[in-house]
Structure 1
């Protein structure tokens, strides 16, 4: 039996202090799978929730944390012809990326261009696929639309803002709780056109002013309960709201349904991790997503879409990395390197 090192959780769940690097059996690729030797993996909010026992991985996937990674193809499972040993890739999994090796379906891998570092490549999959699904597939953002993105400095938020700008949105308003995050979002290429501190300002009133009373056509929301009423107030006629999470809670008491009816609003919940393999594969390999991902460069590149790294940790500092995310300190992506 071959073993590998991986980030494990003492007692299977618990606080940040329960994370440690230990030994575990190395997975073997099955039909249609590829074994990848990991160079780096990205952190996501779902990792914190899973660590605490609140977000179990989908059935049939690894119990190890982590859904996105970059690395080198190490071994091919039966029936795989698309990839070769030694290919540099990045990709998406239902779990298992906090490790030296991960098995991934061959259709969920993307070729890593030489222009991206391992860290930059590892920061792309969950962020950009989620943002694309929300902004394009469900939000159906069009040229001239007005857009509101909550949690704007998160990895998905930064990706969604840029996608909206590249697709021709007229205004893209971002919300965050800290001034430095808002200033940063306004400063980056294809960043937000407007920014609001939701802790001190009324974002609904702000977007009404910037849209001459019309409201926004698309909202991307991660917050839920505390933002619900202002979100509904912010939406224009025929507006679309995409719910990606409910960080403030999933229950909204005394919901007023009238504006949903009168404004003909569309409210769409959207998840990625729980989607079927066929859905994820079709999404990643679609021509429209390919057109998006081909435009991504690092922060110092000149592409219209860029990936921004907040901080890089070696994996023996995984507790510090989780703490950084838990304290909401990041503007952009937190990435961990495997050594």
Structure 2
């Protein structure tokens, strides 16, 4: 099969086309003929050498795919050959075939093509477990989503709004404002033009927001603390501007805040399968009704993975970048 390999850790130029044997599914896995694969920030981090795959995972990049099941392990009960699925994988998505645990596969929602389906798993798994499980976002509350124009951001805006929350978001460019409003954001803050702490306090009468989803870290951390309302929850999912922070812990104590965070990739198959079941029960009906849809910015051929990574790192996109493998 054709795959994309890294010659060494580095920039997008280290991604090259190669050939490898088609993998064989273990007893609880399915083999998927990949039609499309999503591009995500963790892929770039792995390429740079700062986000190694967990033990036992493929060394190839790629955390989400869509395609056709072409083989099943001896103990697989949920899927059969010929089923169309999208799947969360721990690696190996930048290839013509990939294996996935059966519990991490989901049916392709009604009326979605393979490109849109490939953009679902990584972002929807991440948003569901962090915003609604860890963050406990409820109907009528306010969430601040940092980076509203990215794959995580566009998903969090839509899903939070569908669940009855009010949504604020930050963006870095003027061109992202209207798309975020169109997705359901109530307020879009251009962080290069205005201080998001001031904007949040002005918009809430000084109260603040109930939940913050942040992938920036660094200097954003103490500013997020300022933005939170009493009993607010900060959910950290990445540290693009640094992992070491300093803040006055008394502010957390006085407002009775909860600070939490997670990464998705190292979780067990059992945990990811549980999240997949919750998505199928609570989110897939919304997708099937057309009330949610991933935002696709641009597609590339598998052989153009380098160009796809260059676009991802430019932050010029709004929504998802996808490799069209077929």
Question: Which TM-score band applies after superposition, normalised by the shorter structure?
Answer: over 0.9
The residue aligned with 1:326 is 313
The residue aligned with 1:242 is 235
Looking at structure 1, the residues matched to 207 and 131 of structure 2 have their Cα atoms a distance apart, in angstroms, of 20
Looking at structure 2, the residues matched to 226 and 310 of structure 1 have their Cα atoms a distance apart, in angstroms, of 29
Matched, 1:262 2:254: yes
**Cα drift, residue 114 of structure 1:** 4.5
Looking at structure 2, the residues matched to 195 and 113 of structure 1 have their Cα atoms a distance apart, in angstroms, of 29
Matched, 1:313 2:310: no
The residue aligned with 2:284 is 293
**Cα drift, residue 78 of structure 1:** 1.4
**Cα drift, residue 294 of structure 1:** 2.5
Looking at structure 1, the residues matched to 50 and 138 of structure 2 have their Cα atoms a distance apart, in angstroms, of 36
- The normalised TM-score by structure 2 is 0.97
Looking at structure 2, the residues matched to 303 and 112 of structure 1 have their Cα atoms a distance apart, in angstroms, of 13
Which structure 2 residue ranges, 5 or more long, are not aligned?
A: none
Provide runs of 4+ in structure 1 moved above 4 Å. Answer: none
Query: Number of residues paired by the alignment?
Result: 326
The residue aligned with 2:11 is 15
Give the one of 160, 164, 171 matched to 1:168. Answer: 164
The residue aligned with 1:207 is 200
SS of 1:205's equivalent in the other structure is: helix
Looking at structure 2, the residues matched to 42 and 112 of structure 1 have their Cα atoms a distance apart, in angstroms, of 14
- The normalised TM-score by structure 1 is 0.94
What is the RMSD computed on CA atoms of the aligned residues? 1.2
**Cα drift, residue 42 of structure 1:** 0.2
Looking at structure 2, the residues matched to 235 and 159 of structure 1 have their Cα atoms a distance apart, in angstroms, of 21
Matched, 1:195 2:188: yes
Matched, 1:280 2:280: no
Change (3 A) 1:289 1:227: farther
Which structure 1 residue ranges, 5 or more long, are not aligned?
A: none
Larger RCO: Structure 1 or Structure 2 (Cα < 8 Å, ≥ 6 residues apart)?
A: 2
SS of 2:25's equivalent in the other structure is: coil
Alignment of 1:105-254 (within 5 A): 105-169=101-165, 171-188=166-183, 191-253=184-246
Alignment of 1:68-107 (within 5 A): 68-107=64-103
| Offset from partner CA, 1:208-248 (integer Å, 9 cap, x none) | 11112210000000000121121111000000010000100
Looking at structure 2, the residues matched to 20 and 140 of structure 1 have their Cα atoms a distance apart, in angstroms, of 42
